[in-house]
Structure 1
C-alpha cells in the first residue's frame, strides 16, 4: 500500500511517501480503506519525539489517528461492522506504528463508529479526535449542564469550534477566546467572543461578573493561569494543553478512544447540532505540507489529507 511514514523522530522533513506492507487484521479489528485522514497537532508532536516514554515508537511509524473510510475486511471475531460499512475512527493504540496516513489501516473496533451520513469523508475525518476531546472534556471532566456559563480558550480552533457547538447543545452559555478575525465565526457558532491577551480576565468578567461555571483551556500559558480567578464558586477547570492545570485544582484531559462517545458525535452531526469546518485538503503525498500548515497554529477548522 501507499503510505506516509517516518523512520526516526523529526519534523516534516523525515516523512517519506512510498510502499509499505498492507496491515494485518487481528480478530478484534477491521481493515479500513482510508478515504481521508485529518492532521492534528499531536501527530507532529509525537513525530518529534515529545511523547517518547508515554508511547513507544515501532519504526517505521505511519502517523495519524483520525480516519474516515470503508470497511473492506472484518476480523474473525468482529460483529459490529461488515464489508462496505462507512466508518470514522480515532485509531490510537498504546504505541506509535500503524497510523491512518495510508491507503489502509487495521483499526480495533473499540476505536470506531459509523460515519455520519450527512458529512463528506473529508468532514468526517476531522470529527473523531477533536470531537472526542471536546466531548469528553465538557461532558465527563467538566460536567457541563444546561444554564451554566462555559469559557473556552482558543474557541475557533479544531477542538474549540466543536467544543462551542457541544456546549451550546448541552444548553450552556459560551464565552470563547479567539483573535478578532475569528469573532464573527464564533458568533455564528453561538459563542460570545473575547480577544485573548492582556486584559483577558477583565473582558471575561465584564461578560460574566459572577464568574463562569466551567473553563475549558485549549491554549495553555496565560489563558490557563488567569482561569482559576474567573471561576464562580464551585466552578470547574480542565485543560488539554497543559498538565500544570493539576496544580491549579483542575483536570488534565488526554482523549481516549471510546465507541459510545464517538457514536454520540455521529448522532450530533446527523441532527445538525455539530458541523466540521474543513480549512484545507491535501493529497496523501503532500502530508508534509499539511503538517507544516497545522504546526503554524493559525488555521480555523481542520486540515485533511485525502487518499485516492
Structure 2
C-alpha cells in the first residue's frame, strides 16, 4: 500500500503510555513504533494535546477503562491538534500539510495519531483547523466544546433566560458560559471565590458554590432562574430544582439526577465542533490556557488537571 507522506522515514514516536490503570504516577513517556495511515486514514503529527477530566477518570481503574473499550498498554489524552503528514488510500478530504484538530480517544498525547478520515464520532475524528486558531487552542476544543454544546442544546437558553451553570470555571464551563452568552442569556456561574474575576471575564456573574447556594442565587436573581447546567456533580441540579426550574430545563454531564436529562459530547449536533472553531477564529469565543507542559512533564500536568481547580485548559506541547 502506498502512502502520501511528508515524513516517510519516521519510524518511531514519543507517546505517553501506561501499563497499569491508576493515577498520574502510572504515566510514562516512551519511544514506540510510529503508526502508519491505512486506507481511509490520515496520520497527524501532533503539536499539542489538551487534557480533560475524562482522560484520568477513564484510566483510573480497569472497570472504568473497560467501559471505554480501553486495554493495556493504553495511551493517554484525547484532544489533539497538529498537521496531517501521511494520507492513506482513498482519502480526498485531507492532504499532507493540512492543519487539523479533533479527538483520538486515550491516545492523543503522542508524536503521531492515526485517524479515520471519515470519522464522525468524538473518539476518532479530524477537522480542518481554521485560520486564526493556533494549535494550542485547537487542541482544547473537541471534548469540552462538544460537551458544552450538547448540554446547552438540552436547555436551549435564549435572551429571556437566566441560566445557572455549576462548575462554570472548568474546561467545559469556559465554553458553556460563552456559548450561552452568545444566545443572549444571562449566566450565573458557580465557582470558588478565587475564580470570580475569571468568571466575570467570561461573561458570567459569579456565585460561590456550597451550602446556601439557593439563597445566594435568589439574591442575585430575584426574578428567578429559568434553566441550569451542572458541569461538576449534582449540587447545581438540586439547587435548580429547589429554585423551581423544570426538570427538562436542567442538564447534567457527570452524574444522573432523577427527572433531569444528561448530555455528553457524543450527543452534540453534527457540525457543532466546527461551529465552535469558527467562533474561536472570529474572536467570539476565547479559550484561556491555564498552563502548558512539555510531554516529559505529563505527570505534573495530569496532577494539575485532576485537581479540578484549574481556571481554563491544560495543554501538552509536543
Mark yes or no: TM-score above 0.5. yes
Measure how far apart 1:234 and its partner are: 7.3
Measured in 2, the distance between the counterparts of 1:131 and 1:83 equals 26
Q: Which residue in 1 is equivalent to 2:264?
A: 254
Query: How far has the Cα of 1:235 moved from its partner?
Result: 5.5
Change (3 A) 1:226 1:258: closer
- 1:233 is displaced (CA, Å) by 5.1
Q: Larger strand proportion, structure 1 or 2?
A: 1
Cα RMSD (Å)? 1.9
Which segments of 5 or more consecutive residues in structure 2 lack a partner in the other structure? 1-12
1:33 aligns with 2:41: no
Residue 106 of structure 1: how far off its partner (Å): 0.6
From 132, 137, 140, the equivalent of 1:126 is 140
Seen in structure 2, the aligned counterparts of structure 1 residues 46 and 161 have a Cα distance that, compared at 3 Å, is same
Is the 1:11–1:48 contact (alpha carbons within 8 Å) kept by the matching residues of 2? yes
Match of 1:137 among 143, 151, 157: 151
- CA distance in structure 2 between the aligned counterparts of 1:57 and 1:191, rounded to whole angstroms: 37
Q: State how far apart, in whole Å, the 1-side matches of 2:130 and 2:225 are.
A: 33
Correspondence for 2:312? 301
* DSSP 3-state at the match of 1:198: coil
Cα offset for 1:143? 2.0
Distance in 2 separating the partners of 1:54 and 1:5: 19
Aligned to 1:208: 221
Q: Decide which of 280, 284, 291 is 1:273's aligned counterpart.
A: 284
Pairwise CA distance, 1:253: 1.5
Q: Equivalent residue for 2:9? A: none
Moved more, 298-307 or 227-236: 227-236
Aligned residues: 298
Residue 111 (structure 2) aligned to one of 85, 103, 108: 103
Q: After the TM superposition, list the runs of 4 or more consecutive aligned residues in structure 1 that deviate by more than 4 angstroms.
A: none
Contact 2:15–2:29, Cα closer than 8 Å, also in 1 = yes
TM-score, with structure 2 as normaliser: 0.88
Q: 2:205 aligns with which of 171, 192, 207?
A: 192
Equivalent-residue separation in structure 2 for 1:180 and 1:79 (angstroms): 50
Verify: 1:42 aligned to 2:50, yes or no: no
Using the TM superposition, name which of 256-265 and 157-166 deviates more: 256-265
**Which stretch shows the higher mean deviation, 208-217 or 34-43?**
208-217
Asked if 2 retains the 8 angstrom alpha-carbon contact of 1:124 and 1:276, the reply is no
What SS does the aligned partner of 2:151 have? Answer: helix
User: 1:203 deviation in Å?
Assistant: 1.2
Distance in 1, Cα, partners of 2:203 & 2:278 = 20
2:241 to 228, 249, 253: 228
Aligned CA distance change for structure 1 residues 65 and 155 (closer, same or farther; 3 Å): same
1:27, CA displacement in angstroms? 2.9
Q: If the length of structure 1 is used for normalisation, what is the TM-score?
A: 0.91
- Matching of residue 13 in structure 1 with residue 25 in structure 2: yes
Whole-Å Cα distance in 1 between the matches of residues 229 and 316 of structure 2? 28
- Find the aligned partners of 1:213 and 1:155 in 2 and give their Cα distance: 17
Shift of residue 301, structure 1, vs aligned partner = 0.7
Q: How far off is 1:159 after superposition?
A: 0.9
Gaps of 5+ in 1: none
Q: 2:104 aligns with which of 73, 91, 97?
A: 91
